[in-house]
Structure 1
């Protein structure tokens, strides 16, 4: 094309194909730059607000509510109609149960302390030891897992026996708090007894799952015993669809899912909270009633007990217990040393109190 023809073509609005492609690419590039600027501005604003990529109430904790956790105007029932309950299926948990019993006495929980247990699994020395720590013994029958134990972890095979706590109305208990053996009491919780709700539990916490979960942990439960409810619960074990791997905790979440009231974290200070959100852990310290040693236990939680029968020498070996506690303090980069020290102090006081009251036969 001659120069005269090119000038004439431009004047008529003609743009060569190569130039048109360049203009189109430029528009796309400008659009992307604009969009990128919007995204960067949004991120900068988020960071300026202190929100970051996780914006749930748990991960973006702010102490907004200034009111006390406990309402001062609550009714009372007699201490004989209340019970703190725990469970023992083998001798292996004798030390943690004795520590838990000791902390219940130390913090003056105004209730009976009832320990359900499997009589064919637990030795007389262990029964003597937990009684000395303040537990009232209550034998129960084993409740097998549904579907022949299909899909359940071997450490959870006995856990459905926990459902027996709902039969305690037969011995006069009207309201109860169930505590797993891997808990200790850090403060009095007598205000809980007259909650009007049928069932309550503390929301579960997972380290790698941002935000709140609607599910609860079965290590701390508020309940009203009812043999009628117990019978209904057991009758539906085989027909209810739930994650068998998580045993009775999963079943209880389904059975009480729509009716359960969620208790504050202070009633079940799951160590996962400490790891996930140190700010929340620090904030609830003044109100902390119960610590739950979930992800780092101060005792051997997987002692080998073939057929449910443990080696008594290993069960009552104080040196092995101290070695286990030392090992636990070294885990998780030492994050849980303060909480493990709480347990250790209670353990030492418990041993001083009970001493040699229950010698080997």
Structure 2
């Protein structure tokens, strides 16, 4: 239940990367300001009225940044009144940091290697829990009085500000084992003491599932029996495949769903999206399951209409700053997830014409220059 363990040192261990739009708390440990190339100063990202509470998520690489961006935009679309925070790892590129800063109020880098001693020690003893230990950094956000964590593979369908009326540790049951909670959505109170106890628990006991859910369920072990008020309704963390595992319940309660969680190995960005039909296709298997399609289409609609323009605006800013400069956005970065289906076959161009198109920035992101095709060539080259 988190009551055991030694006292935590009064250090949060954040490497401390704050991007434009972030806030700084004079009472919090010193953090460094980093402004990567192309970063822009943000005036105001939201209509927030509660500055000491936040929605928090985690992106460990550029691909998961795509999920975080859609999540953040979905919160803004639903007029969330709390600040938006994303934790990132050093693996996230400068480009994605800038794009994230256009959606989130704070972008904070977490580097376990350069963290405080007690965090680094936990990482050395339990390297397999690297991502989990990174997620635990959300408890160090002590300039907030209360936070709601959402995994980057969730999508908010309606306003969920009422979750801030809940106490730590509130979460919804896991569909696979309801006596455990699912750690994709939970309410918590930042605390350096709790953070230290969690790290000690991770060092001493590890995680029974090798991830944060096992560790958190072991730490908050009384969740299933102690206080029913800490059980969030399933509509706050609906597994996207529940629609067909228990279809009668979905028909009855599906219209009330507030947060969809794309559990499992296949994420929204693993699907192909046809912008002309507004629907997704799963690689190699035709249409996605019809019960999940509506949620996937919502995800992709946000990605196409709100996230892709951020990349385009970044490119426009770069073009304006450096007229005639032809070093445009890498298709690998832009096409991490957007691999839609071309509607027509493009005419065959000579290698010289192809090269000229790239130099002029006329890249076929939706067709032959899509990331999936580039990846295939890289794989063949490396074999």
Q: Which category describes the TM-score, using the shorter chain as reference length? A: 0.5 to 0.7
Counterpart of 1:327 in structure 2 is 282
Match of 1:139 among 76, 101, 109: 109
Q: Is the 8 A contact 1:200 1:262 kept in 2?
A: yes
1:213 aligns with 2:187: no
Counterpart of 2:215 in structure 1 is 251
Q: Is the 8 A contact 1:266 1:287 kept in 2?
A: yes
| Separation in structure 1 between the aligned mates of residue 94 and residue 191 of structure 2, nearest angstrom | 30
Q: Is the 8 A contact 1:98 1:350 kept in 2?
A: no
Paired residue total: 254
Helix, strand or coil: the match of 1:358?
helix
Helix, strand or coil: the match of 1:251?
helix
Shift, 1:175, TM fit:
0.8
| Separation in structure 1 between the aligned mates of residue 103 and residue 214 of structure 2, nearest angstrom | 31
Question: Where do 5+ consecutive residues of structure 1 fail to align?
Answer: 1-76, 207-211, 302-316
Higher helix fraction (1 or 2)? 1
Q: TM-score, normalised by structure 2?
A: 0.60
Q: Is the 8 A contact 2:280 2:293 kept in 1?
A: no
Counterpart of 2:15 in structure 1 is none
Counterpart of 1:176 in structure 2 is 147
| Separation in structure 2 between the aligned mates of residue 354 and residue 332 of structure 1, nearest angstrom | 27
Counterpart of 1:79 in structure 2 is 50
Q: Is the 8 A contact 1:87 1:180 kept in 2?
A: yes
Q: TM-score, normalised by structure 1?
A: 0.63
1:203 aligns with 2:166: no
| Separation in structure 1 between the aligned mates of residue 205 and residue 104 of structure 2, nearest angstrom | 37
**Over 6 Å off, 4+ runs:** none
Match of 1:116 among 80, 87, 107: 87
Counterpart of 1:58 in structure 2 is none
> For 1:264-303, what aligned pairs fall within 5 Å after superposition?
264-295=233-264, 296-300=266-270
Shift, 1:283, TM fit:
2.6
Point out the more displaced range, 332-341 or 102-111.
Answer: 332-341
Say which structure, 1 or 2, has more relative contact order (CA 8 Å, 6+ apart).
1
Match of 1:105 among 69, 76, 83: 76
Question: Where do 5+ consecutive residues of structure 2 fail to align?
Answer: 1-47, 113-118, 225-229, 316-328, 331-383
> For 1:232-243, what aligned pairs fall within 5 Å after superposition?
232-240=197-205, 242-243=207-208
Shift, 1:146, TM fit:
7.5
| Separation in structure 1 between the aligned mates of residue 307 and residue 288 of structure 2, nearest angstrom | 27
- Quickly say closer, same or farther: Cα 1:131–1:160, change in 2 above 3 A: same
Shift, 1:232, TM fit:
1.2
1:162 aligns with 2:113: no
Q: Which has the larger radius of gyration?
A: 1
Query: 1:260-284: per-residue Cα shift (whole Å, max 9, x none)?
Result: 7221111111123223211222233
- Quickly say closer, same or farther: Cα 1:257–1:95, change in 2 above 3 A: same
Shift, 1:78, TM fit:
5.9
Counterpart of 1:338 in structure 2 is 294
CA RMSD of the aligned region, Å? Answer: 3.1
Match of 1:89 among 60, 63, 86: 60
Q: Is the 8 A contact 1:85 1:113 kept in 2?
A: yes
| Separation in structure 1 between the aligned mates of residue 196 and residue 82 of structure 2, nearest angstrom | 25
Shift, 1:135, TM fit:
4.4
